[in-house]
Structure 1
């Protein structure tokens, strides 16, 4: 995803997380690659365990049936000992592989938390906005492999949005779930290392992240691969499915996803301690995984409730990172509109939907806004400039918090932050009308000046609705959208 030059350590860190989940990581298999191998090997692994278990059971019954007055045949006792050892070894091998997958997933989640959460609510909002913006700016908005790229960008994006929605609901007392409330303490929510924080992270945060990240992991199953790509692998995995295909794919995806969360990842290894400590740990782990499974089950059944913490971000991210071949970034502002429409039709909770929309606003993080600049006297100028949405929780949903990235038709590494009103945002007809009196030749010149690899033949609109920030952010390396110097200007 990244160009070899000009990348900050932060951007490289985000890129490594994406690759660790569903891309190609050096020296380590991604989480989804691990899941794919699990699904491929599971039939044989189950067969091994079942076969050994049946052999042990059969031989044990034979020995148990030996009359009391006779000695048990030594050869059978030795064979039983050998079989039990083989069974135990196989269980250990499979459990070790499971723990490797589980710990890999936990490590990725903790990395995401380090990139998106701070010492308090405000710092967490800033870091999360930075992460979400960076993820969107990894997408060039076009290309033959765009659908595949979008599929890899969604998991961590969903996870971060789910956590921000969780926090918003908790602050507004919109959470009724007893399990969540039992572990929540607003005083220690962002205090890393504190006992209550660790408990909340283990019992609430990680299960929500797991549910969001692995929400569609069932797609890695060979049966889904055949359904989507055909026996010969000659079909487009991201083609539009007919109704029957969609139903079947959804059903199998949900089934295999739950299987992977429960058996492919499962619970953490028991701790060393007293019998009471071990019992308490096991009970906590069972509660954690049950909470996690319920989130995924309820989200897939469109049940209104706690599961909307992951379901609404999933709906939203499926639009932001659409895998449809005819995708256009100009449609991204419709994502929040769709959430509001679903709420109005009682498909999702209006309370949770409103909380979510208040976080993301109408324009998603990383979206390229085209706007009318003002001079020092506050008078609007007769040309447009470019900005990037970089802030969550806008005061007004349709007025995004942006970083101005061009000035006097020149891109800059340092700009100031500004709220772009609807009257100046070229997404709206009201703003576009203000430039229709400008000479078309001048508008074309502006378009050429601000467009990477400009092609006049493709300039269907002299006044663009939005702009693609990918080439600015990735290729040219302007990744300091959150630098302190610019914020203090």
Structure 2
């Protein structure tokens, strides 16, 4: 691959949001942009085959005109007069009509190609803008936590009719965020052997172990970050965003048979997965592809085409069958896809308590070699046992009562000890900007904590009905304003005081 020596624009990096309100606005913006990307794809699948068919018809007619004109002109050149044509009184008039028809169809052909190029450029730009806005929210752990947590907390409740439709629309954004974050962890700890990545990232970083996903401010220079985003992170994010875009094609709609969320048979499921991959690949190659541009020289065009072609082939490797060059990318993708099926479910029947099973499912799948063990370990360390945006109950020694909290940060020091915002005090709504770390001994999700809590089994049975977690979506933006929740002062307190001894 030819090394790109372009100069990158770094001004955007200075405008990345840092206040909770600014991040929320950004999330709202790219959710709108993602809807536009879906609309673009739906229109592409409907219109592109028609346009291609029309281009073929124009080509066929133009070839026929050209052949007839050539025959007539050749005859005139050889004999000095136009030939008599069956069914035509005037060969001169007929030849004039041929030229006129040819000219009109050439104009129509050129116009249609221009319209297709404009539509392709628009699709490319819409995806590019969405990716830029999404990557702004992966600039450090604090922003990323708000980004991912807001998506989860904004999902509809289990019994809401719009849940499947809305979750289906936003699941690709959730997956893409996790893919980029996991990609960064793998880059720092294990590295990649993929040819494109090796070439693109050679000499890119002053410190190859420096991460843009630090807690607050990453140590990458603006020049490093701009190059990393453009050459690596944007192609990765775009591929992740388009993984299931093929589900909006007519071929997949036929498999759904009018119900996108019905339970499929194993045979239907296999056909669905294969068809989505084919159609997603087609959209990336034909719908996005390499957008046309104007150039001053032929060499500029060649350099641009080679540069964009390398990036496109890299993105397409995410959709290809697994091989020696893309196996790392395929293993990376599988983990966020599995995790998202718990967190952003599109199943008609959904119990929110299933999200707390995601950690163990990935861990067991890694043990069984169904998922990459090293990558899974990195991923689980990032998300923790208790997903961001999930609700927990914990015993607070300060109030000597069981309080509610919502997981508010990723990257816990211990995956079993979530970083949370406490939202009740003495079981009344209350919230500060400080985060708390809840140890296993204080988290009543764990049986050992319940036994040590000072509360008897009957209390837990009556009070919690054996459900020791809660759905934070029920109070989100109703009792818990998003902007208040995401405001953090940077301090964290650990609940370490002893549990009560007396029964209640």
Q: Would you say same fold, with TM above 0.5?
A: yes
2:478 pairs with 1:475: yes
* Match for residue 168 of structure 1 among 185, 209, 213: 185
Partner of 2:419, secondary structure, is strand
Between structure 1 and structure 2, the one with the greater Rg is: 2
- Cα distance in 2 for partners of 1:422, 1:152 equals 35
* Match for residue 15 of structure 1 among 11, 21, 28: 28
Partner of 2:107: 85
Question: Cα gap change, 1:115/1:411 in structure 2, threshold over 3 Å: closer, same or farther?
Answer: same
2:349 pairs with 1:346: no
Question: Cα gap change, 1:65/1:359 in structure 2, threshold over 3 Å: closer, same or farther?
Answer: farther
Specify every segment of 5 or more residues in structure 1 that has no aligned partner in the other structure, as ranges: 1-6, 23-29, 118-123, 448-458
Partner of 1:209: 237
5 Å-filtered alignment, 1:23-62, equals 30-62=36-68
Contact conserved, 1:207 with 1:292, CA < 8 A, in 2?
yes
Measured against aligned partners, the alpha-carbon deviations of 1:42-65 in whole angstroms (never above 9, x if no partner) come to 221121111111112232233344
Offset at 1:223? 2.9
Specify every segment of 5 or more residues in structure 2 that has no aligned partner in the other structure, as ranges: 1-19, 83-94, 213-218, 494-504
* Match for residue 310 of structure 1 among 311, 317, 333: 333
Partner of 1:396, secondary structure, is coil
- Cα distance in 1 for partners of 2:278, 2:372 equals 25
5 Å-filtered alignment, 1:439-458, equals none
* Match for residue 279 of structure 1 among 293, 298, 302: 302
5 Å-filtered alignment, 1:60-459, equals 60-66=66-72, 68=74, 70=76, 73-117=95-139, 124-142=140-158, 143-184=160-201, 185-187=204-206, 197-228=225-256, 230=257, 233=258, 236-270=259-293, 272-298=295-321, 304-375=327-398, 381=400, 383-435=401-453, 437-438=455-456
Contact conserved, 2:433 with 2:487, CA < 8 A, in 1?
no
Partner of 1:88, secondary structure, is helix
Offset at 1:167? 0.8
Contact conserved, 1:371 with 1:425, CA < 8 A, in 2?
yes
Partner of 2:486, secondary structure, is coil
Partner of 1:120: none
Measured against aligned partners, the alpha-carbon deviations of 1:217-242 in whole angstroms (never above 9, x if no partner) come to 111112322321x3xx4xx4212111
Alignment length, in residue pairs? 444
Measured against aligned partners, the alpha-carbon deviations of 1:276-302 in whole angstroms (never above 9, x if no partner) come to 33222211111111111111224799x
- Cα distance in 1 for partners of 2:121, 2:298 equals 22
Partner of 2:62, secondary structure, is helix
Offset at 1:408? 1.6
- Cα distance in 1 for partners of 2:76, 2:162 equals 72
Question: Cα gap change, 1:476/1:298 in structure 2, threshold over 3 Å: closer, same or farther?
Answer: farther
CA RMSD of superposed structures (Å):
2.9
Partner of 1:307, secondary structure, is helix
Offset at 1:470? 1.8
Offset at 1:211? 1.3
Contact conserved, 2:150 with 2:389, CA < 8 A, in 1?
yes
TM-score (normalizing by structure 1): 0.83
TM-score (normalizing by structure 2): 0.80
Question: Cα gap change, 1:113/1:419 in structure 2, threshold over 3 Å: closer, same or farther?
Answer: same
Partner of 1:257, secondary structure, is helix
Question: Cα gap change, 1:443/1:405 in structure 2, threshold over 3 Å: closer, same or farther?
Answer: farther
Partner of 2:55, secondary structure, is helix
